Structure 1
Amino acid sequence: MITTAPTRDRLVAAAHDVVREGGYAAASVAAVAERAGTGASTLYRHFPSKGQLFVEVFRTVCEGEIRAAEAAAAAHDDPVAQVLAWVRTFCARALAAPRLAWALIAEPVDPLVEAERLAFRRSYRDGIAGRIAAGVAAGRLPAQDPHLSAAALVGALGEALVGPTSPDAVDPDLSAHLQELMAFTRRALGDA
């Protein structure tokens, strides 16, 4: 039996690389197929549309981002430190790969990818909300609706990352930006 997984995986990896370098706008079917060492017809045998290919890329990248943020949070016992580690990891990784972050956060995309973007924002919210709830229960944070606070935090962080990850960004001070985002997170949560 011939497996198609290696070709599919190569296509997803190639699409990821093209998006990381130039965003979705640069990720034509021809560019992805060429990077993967295949033809466009091969790409379409594995993905019925360009949108479905990029949904797979989006899922792959975002699942990796969630794993990294969860691992950083798990290194701490204190729920507030967990939230801060989660946020720091997410934001630092976005700032370290600005074109990819721009594509994931704000670049206009196919409606299929936009739906996936919204689903992952909920995943980010959920990853933070449980830790906020634990912080409230432990008396480390003031009473608040953990899901509402987490959703607001994810939205604010996403918006704050748009500028410095934008293709038009002019050499932002990423270290200072990250420090400001962390200070904002503490204030938003009510952490003294």
Structure 2
Amino acid sequence: MQNDKITSEVSPLGTSVGLEGRDCVPFFTSDKSQIKFEFWYLVTLFSVVCSAVILIQLFGSRIGLIHSDKLAFFAVFGGFLGGWVYDAKWFYRVTARGKNNQYGFPWQPHKFYWRILTPFLSGTVAFATFLLGTTDFLPIAIKNKESARAAFAICFLLGYFSDLVLSRLAAWAEKLLPKTSNDKSN
């Protein structure tokens, strides 16, 4: 029988400093039920987003979508699917191989919320970064700013690499924004 408890760090005072095992995800009684849920969650998300992309492509003009709206939808969906692919790759890596390279147990139930929210966060980061790039606010040049295909493709990459995008944006903002007297003491 697999032990679902994760050994958490212990503070110098002898108390636990982290959540253990299923304590942070009370919805599932076992790894197997959580894995099944997350699999169907990923399949459902993919189906819904792909259906929305196809419907917007085929019927967008019939329902009154103007080009800029279509461009925005494709940018959001591209970033979302980039994050979805990242999430699905992680899911596959852990479940299909039955291990990860960091810990001695195959499934990490405590990362449930991270895995559920990754596509949404990636889509948001990608879309916001795309908007900053297309308005020439960022020091990057985006060709074909008015192409829905380009918006989808660029945002797919921005969504897939959203962690890297955020770290680069933070580094850029640190150079751009002046330090205050409180920042110097930190």
- Length-normalised TM-score, structure 1: 0.31
Larger Rg: 2
Specify which structure has the higher proportion of helix: 1
Which structure has more relative contact order (CA 8 Å, sep 6+)? It is: 2
